[in-house]
Each structure stands twice: as C-alpha cells, then as structure tokens.
Amino acid sequence: MLRPALTRISLAILLIGALAPGGAPPVPWPRGAAPTAAVIDAMVAEAEQLDAREQVEEWLAALEAGEASEHLPIVQADIDAGLYTKADLFRLGDGFFSHPFTASPDGYGDGHFVALRRVHTGVRGGLDTFSCAGCHSVGGPDGAGSSTQNALLGGDGEHESSANHRNAPALQGGGIVQALGAEMSRDLQYQRDEGLATAVKHDKPAVVDLVTHAVSFGSIIVYPDGHLDTSKLDGVDADLVVKPFGWKGSVSRLRRFAEDAARVHFGIQSHVLCLQYQEAPDPAHMGPGPNWWDPDGDGHPHELEEGMLTAAAVYLAMLETPAIIPPAGEGLRDRWARGAALLAKVGCTGCHKREMELANTSWHETADTTDGEVVLGLFQDGEQPRGSNQVNLFSDLKRHAMGPALADPHDDEKGLPRDVFLTRPLWGLAETAPYLHDGRAATIPEAILAHGGEAQVSRDAFAALSASEQADVHVFLLSLSREPRVRVVR
C-alpha cells in the first residue's frame, strides 16, 4: 500500500516475531512469515517519514494561517487530465481525512454557529467534531469510534433523547466493499433486465428470483410494459443498488459517504450534492444559501471540490483490508478452530457470510453527476490480491430486521424501518469495540446476545452453548483483526 493505516505496536514485538510465553510458536503474520530486517527497516522509515510530514504541516499551519487548507481545493478536471497519480490522490485524501476544519478559510459550520454541539439539529447535522480522524481512531488510524464519540443524528440540537445514536465504524477495506456492492448491483439489475426481456417476449409477467453472490434479495414481478412489482424484495431498495455503507445500508459509494459525513459533522459542503437538486439547494439539507456554490450562505464558496471528493474516495478505497490473525499456542489455536465451526453451526454465518467472491479487482468511482466514470486500481500497480478473490468479509451486504430491542428510537431521513440494519462486516472486529450501531455493547458476546428479529434463532443458539463453547466463538472472533504496523507515537 502507499501508506497503510498504522496501528500502534511495539517494535520489539516486531523484531522477535511476537513470541508467545513458554516457547510457543510465534503469532502468525497475516502474510506468512514474520517480516525480515529489511522489511522492518522500511516500515520504520515509512512511519518516520509520515511523522515528519505531519509535523511540517503543523508548523506551516502555525506560521501561516490557512496554509494547511491550501491543498484541499483540487479540481476534478486536473485529475481527469492526469496531473495526479494514485499516490498523489491517496496522500491528498489522507490529508483531507486528518485535516482539522476551521471556520476560516475552510467554511466550518454555517457562519453563524460554529461551536461544537453533541446533538445534531435535523438533517443538516452537527457540528460534533473537527476532522474525520477525530472520530475514527479506536484500534488505530482510520479505526472505529469510542462510545463517547457517538454521533447523535437527526435531533433537535439540544436533547440527546431526540436523536439516533451512531457509533463510528472502522474504515479498512472500503474499496473492496464498494467493489462487491457494485458487482452485486450489476448482477441484480441484469437479472431484472433479463426478466423484462422474457416478459416482453412471451407477453406475460415474469417472476425473477434475485440471487447474487449466494445471497437472496427476494423476488420481483416484471410486466411486459416495464412495470415492476417490488413488494417481495428483501434487503435492498427498488433500484436494486446494493448500498454497503452506513449502518442501515443507505450509501453505495465512498464518494457519497465522505461527502455526507463532511456535511453533517463539519458543515463542510460539496456543491456537487446541490447539483442533484437541479434548480436550487434543498434548504433542509444544505441551508438557505444564495446559490449552489455557497449553499449554507456562510460566504465560503466551493468548500469541498469534486476533486477532493475523488481524493477522499481513493484514500478510503486503498486502505488496507483487515486480516485474520489466529492466536498462538496449540490450546488457543484449537479453541479458535472450534469457534469458527461453532459460529457456522449456530447460524451466524447465514448473514455474516465468511467469504464473498470478488470477480473484478478494480473499482469504479463516479467522477461527476453524469454517468462518466474514473477507473482506479484497487491495488498498487503489479500487486495482486492475496490468495484468491475470496474476501473474508463476514457479511452479506444485505439489510435485515433486527427486532424492537435494537431499533432506533426515531425515524431517519432515508425512511428505512427503525429496526432495519445492514449486516455489519465482521472483519477487523477485534479492534472496533464498542459494538453495534449505537455502541451499546462493550464486548462481542454482549453484541451477539443483543441480536433479535431475523437473527433471533442464531442468537438463541449461541445463548444455548456452554460457557466454554461461547468462549471458543469469542476466541475466533477476536482473530478478526488488523495487520500490525509501525507508528511513531509522541
């Protein structure tokens, strides 16, 4: 990777290969053998280089107000012209992710109220933090959020009880998740179109069972005139676009994920979103500004350019994928293996599918509001995915009803049922506590036992296991982790 997300880890552990007590075999590295001295030297040099660059940026920002913001307004036309490499875009996206937004010159807030507030005001959002990194830090950079960092969405700006709680998810592997969602969407839409062709050919309705990547999304009835009966759809919208981002599965692309997050958490607005409204910005979402370029009317136009959204999407897409790191020692390793089998036995892998096949290892990112696309490699040039294209995601990227106990207290702006949530990918799980959409569970077993609705049978089967068997499952799930990296900590 160009600059993988770096987790805190002792260099001494790196050097000795993480030897376990009592002479047990070393903890296995995700890529096989422990790193060589040359690899360790390269990791240390990379960490030192990153630290030096971040320090220089801080000093420059102190010496010249607004200097840290000068790299943010890159334009899409320059990217389209080939003026930026993938490495450049990744670095710029990294800068966007860690940049602390300010009222001037960035346009933080709406020019009237720029103080932090815990409870969001309606769909326009916070303000509840200054940077993406401010809430994505648990388990290392680009990680999850703590319970005190929960976003309180859609409230009245004052009372916590008026809002829906959201715990910030870890962000590793987003490019692969987006690519899987896009493949599944294309499959479903192809099946719909094939059904329409059949209905027209035979001049009668056709029933289409929608299955992709071994996941069933229900069925539709296609009529010869093109009308669709979508009442039997399951876990996906009528447009048949799998939306793998957001706790409720409401966002399909990393670009839109970054754009929406900037709006609701910082008040940093993209005029690209305004273009979707064609005539004028929607005041409820964007504010009563004079035009598309300054929708919140704070006097700071072009707060978030299209090119910066591309850089943010490239950065998120090229973060490393989580890894399965089994425990050291025969005893724990045996329990780890039993836990994997028990997870399947109680039915958790019915939704948290262990593997999904990714046919295409590139991802597509929409460059503008038309149907133009920029195609960017998911991996570095010449790098191949590990092993095969089987992704250990532990999700079906489908929405499920999880029962009243887990339901949100309020409706959300997307209109999805309060108890419906996307099957959260479990990869990287060990480093993302607390758990569930609102961070209510401190441990993995607590999160399992909080499941209901469509997961009730599996939840009850887990609860019926012996304490030792439940511990085996817990041991296995704790192996869903992140690759160790070197990071300079001051």
Residues paired with 251 in a beta bridge:
245
Question: pLDDT at position 221, please?
Answer: 98
Q: Where are the beta strands (DSSP E) in 271-343?
A: 323-324
The per-residue pLDDT string of the chain (490 residues; one tens digit each, 9 = 90 and over) reads 333 333 333 333 333 333 333 433 444 454 456 677 888 888 888 888 878 877 777 776 676 666 666 667 788 889 988 899 888 898 899 989 988 898 888 889 887 767 788 899 888 888 899 999 999 999 988 999 999 999 999 999 999 999 999 999 999 999 899 989 999 999 999 999 999 999 999 999 999 999 999 999 999 999 999 999 999 999 999 999 999 999 999 999 998 899 999 999 999 988 776 666 545 556 777 788 777 788 888 888 888 888 999 999 999 988 888 989 888 777 888 999 999 999 999 999 999 999 999 887 655 444 433 333 343 444 443 343 444 588 999 999 999 999 999 999 999 888 899 999 999 999 999 999 999 999 999 999 999 999 999 999 999 999 999 999 999 999 999 999 988 778 787 7
Looking only at Cα atoms, what is the longest distance across the chain? 74
Q: Is the Cβ–Cβ distance between 361 and 378 less than 8 Å?
A: yes
Distance CA 200, CA 226 (A): 9
Residues paired with 399 in a beta bridge:
422
Q: Is the Cβ–Cβ distance between 441 and 393 less than 8 Å?
A: no
Residue from 442, 135, 460, 239 nearest 250 by CA: 239
Ranges for all domains in the chain classified under CATH 1.10.760: 323-481
Q: Is the Cβ–Cβ distance between 9 and 27 less than 8 Å?
A: no
Distance CA 300, CA 108 (A): 9
Alpha carbon of 475 to those of 21, 325, 332, 416, 445: distances in Å? 18, 11, 8, 34, 11
Residues paired with 157 in a beta bridge:
none
Question: pLDDT at position 281, please?
Answer: 59
Counting Cβ atoms within 10 Å, is residue 237 exposed (0-12), middle (13-18) or buried (19+)? middle
Q: Is the Cβ–Cβ distance between 179 and 230 less than 8 Å?
A: no
Residue from 56, 46, 55 nearest 87 by CA: 46
Both tokens of 372, joined, read 């133009």
- Total residue count of the chain as it appears in this document: 490
Cβ-Cβ contacts under 8 Å for 283 (sequence gap 6 or more):
none
3-class secondary-structure state, position 420 = strand
Neighbours of 451 (CB within 10 A): 23
What is the secondary structure of 158-207 as a DSSP string?
Answer: S-GGGSEEEPPPP-TTHHHHHHHHHHHHHHHHHHHHHHHHHHHHHTS-EE
CATH assignment, 323-481: 1.10.760
Which amino acid is present at 14? L
Residue from 321, 304, 271, 239 nearest 31 by CA: 321
Distance CA 51, CA 44 (A): 11
Distance CA 207, CA 222 (A): 6
Distance CA 327, CA 471 (A): 14
**Element (DSSP H or E) covering residue 312:** helix 306-317
**Element (DSSP H or E) covering residue 221:** strand 215-222
Give per-residue pLDDT as tens, 204-219.
999 999 999 999 999 9
Question: pLDDT at position 186, please?
Answer: 93
Give per-residue pLDDT as tens, 284-314.
777 887 777 888 888 888 888 889 999 999 9
Both tokens of 387, joined, read 């092993």
- The DSSP call for residue 162 is G
Specify the pairing of strand 373-377 against strand 362-366.
antiparallel
Both tokens of 229, joined, read 């009966």
Both tokens of 236, joined, read 């996906």
3-state helix, strand, coil in the chain (%, to 5): 40, 10, 50
Counting Cβ atoms within 10 Å, is residue 155 exposed (0-12), middle (13-18) or buried (19+)? buried
